[in-house]
Structure 1
Amino acid sequence: MKYRNPTREVTGFEYHLGASNIGVRYYCMGSSHSKCIDQLEAVQRCADRTTSRLKQ
């Protein structure tokens, strides 16, 4: 069971995968479903990007 939950329109949307009611939350960059990554990973990448920007 897959369904889209466009709650955030910043860099993409949250994507929920899983047969259970809970499901696993994925964060999709853009509209490409193949680029779906775990939300924690997305947060970490965002933090890394911000940190590297501050260093420059």
Structure 2
Amino acid sequence: MGVLDRAARLARGDSEPHPYRCMSCGADLSVQYHSCPECGGYDIRAAKWVDE
């Protein structure tokens, strides 16, 4: 997804469906956990920084 697509979606009021991602297993998460509920990994990052 491009920057302009994201900006248009945010301007419409749509929010990110899964704003966080586990870097260990790649699970998309709706909240930022301290450890991933899927694999137990501790590397949870904001998806907007990972996708770009």
Q: TM-score, normalised by structure 2?
A: 0.31
Kindly indicate which of the two structures has a greater share of residues assigned to strand.
Answer: 1
Kindly indicate which of the two structures has a greater share of residues assigned to helix.
Answer: 1
Q: TM-score, normalised by structure 1?
A: 0.29
Relative contact order: is structure 1 or structure 2 higher (C-alpha 8 Å, sep ≥ 6)? 2
Structure showing greater radius of gyration is 1
